[in-house]
Chain A
Amino acid sequence: MKVDIEKRILAANDEIAAANRALFAEHGVFVVDLMASPGAGKTSTILATVAALRDRYRIAVIEGDIASKVDAEKVRAHGIPAVQINTGGACHLESAMIRRAVDTLDLDALDLIIVENVGNLVCPSDFDLGENAKVMILSVPEGHDKPYKYPNIFQVSEAVILNKYDTLTVFDFDEGEFRDVVRSLNGQMPVFPISATKGEGVDVWAEWLADRIDAAQGEDV
């Protein structure tokens, strides 16, 4: 006998993600899910973004890692509230983990939460966390061919940060080809070249994010 189910496989994750999204909207908090490989400079990019926006927005960070709390400690050292999630082996964050982390934050005292996903270009791309925007970082040393190899993450993201841009001449990174492939995958997505540890280019990316935050908060009023 056949029994119809007709359900999203990730229905349980999607339901919690929808509840997260409603909770964030209710408190006027904008949430960005930052995805990248290990070593692409996620934490450095977050610190640079915080430095650019902390005078205008109240910011907290959720750090996702398989183990350790080094990233949360780095962020806290800059006077920013940070919650560490240890996935205990899982290669991506799920909406229920975000929900538990958010419960430890005072949402009324925040405008922006930056979520640092587990370092991985594959798995995080299939999971809705309830964020307002998914953004990815690719670093120059990883190579311009990554959109060919990990296309989905380039398709679900709304912007790409191209980090370690100051090393462009050292590595054989073809920026033109990179932009062409990105365009073929996700036509209107902006690419923001930055050097996170030097602060170069961060202002352009931060302004894009600020515009998105202002637009979302404007809708809530």
Chain B
Amino acid sequence: MHEMGIAEGILSSSLDAAQGAGARGITVVYLTIGELTEISEDALHFAWEAIAPGTLAEGSTLSITMVRASSSCADCGHEWEHDRYSGAQCPECGSWIVMLHSGRELKIDSIDIDEEGDA
């Protein structure tokens, strides 16, 4: 259940950005998370609901974009999308020398805020 630590990281960055923009409140937090990380979406929503109250993020939701893993082969240049178990070896030429391009993201992209004076 390390989603609590992850949620704290999200909250800290969100609050910094919201305060910097003079926000009255945060409505949505947009995240990009790679499928190869050990993040459970449900646990993350749960953790968020536990720590957001009492802050500018109270009542906000997490909008999570999951990213598929993709790799390219250093030998033949083939690029492919894959799950956890089909990324270590190139499906075209069989090479084990591959580079991971996506799938390990743990990123906070942006927030939607209510500004001062908004109804």
A residues touching B (Cβ–Cβ < 8 Å)? 1-13, 90-92, 94, 122-123, 125-127, 151-153, 155, 181, 183-188
Residues of B within 8 A of A94 (CB): 5
Identify which of A11, A90, A183, A187 contacts B5 (C-beta below 8 A): A90
Determine the interface band of chain B, counting residues with CB < 8 A from chain A: 35 or more
Distance of B115 from chain A, by nearest CB (Å): 6
With contacts defined as CB atoms under 8 Å apart, how many contacts are there between chain A and chain B in the complex? 100
Which B residue sits closest to A181, measured CB to CB? B85
Most buried by A among B37, B38, B108, B111: B38
Contacting pair A188 B108 (CB below 8 A): no
Distance of B4 from chain A, by nearest CB (Å): 9
Q: In the complex, A126 Cα to B105 Cα: how many Å?
A: 11
Distance of B36 from chain A, by nearest CB (Å): 6
Identify which of A6, A13, A181, A188 contacts B107 (C-beta below 8 A): A6
B112 close to A (CB within 8 Å): yes
Residues of B within 8 A of A127 (CB): 2
Residues of A within 8 A of B12 (CB): 12
Contacting pair A187 B89 (CB below 8 A): yes
Residues of B within 8 A of A185 (CB): 84-85, 88
Residues of A within 8 A of B65 (CB): none
Contacting pair A152 B38 (CB below 8 A): yes
Which B residue sits closest to A94, measured CB to CB? B5
B21 close to A (CB within 8 Å): yes
Q: A187-B96, A187-B98 are in contact. Are A123 and B14 (CB under 8 A)?
A: no
B55 close to A (CB within 8 Å): no
Closest 8 CB pairs of A and B: A123-B2, A187-B88, A187-B96, A151-B84, A9-B9, A184-B85, A152-B38, A9-B106
Which A residue sits closest to B2, measured CB to CB? A123
